[in-house]
């Protein structure tokens, strides 16, 4: 995540519409974009967890 934020930090933030996040000055748009990326990844991780738990349950039942 920090690498993604570092890349995002290279874009100039909107004047007066930025905040310090993890030591990086990000614009509102950059923050929104990072949230979308992380939420997508969270959904992927949650899906993988469900699949792994289901597989483990099936193996234990066998």
Q: Which two tokens stand for residue 60?
A: 């234990």
Kindly report the pTM of this predicted structure. 0.62
- The gap from C-alpha 35 to its chain's centroid, in whole angstroms, comes to 6
pLDDT tens string 22-45: 999 999 999 999 999 999 999 999
The DSSP call for residue 55 is: H
Beta pairing partners, 25: 20
Pinpoint the alpha helices (H) of 1-62.
Answer: 2-9, 28-61
Write down the mean pLDDT value for the chain.
86
């Amino acid at each position: 995540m920090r690498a993604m934020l570092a890349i995002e930090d290279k874009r100039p933030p909107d004047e007066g519409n930025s905040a310090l996040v993890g030591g990086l000055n990000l614009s509102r748009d950059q923050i929104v974009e990072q949230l979308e990326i992380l939420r997508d990844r969270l959904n992927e991780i949650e899906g993988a967890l469900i699949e792994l738990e289901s597989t483990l349950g099936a193996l234990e039942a066998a």
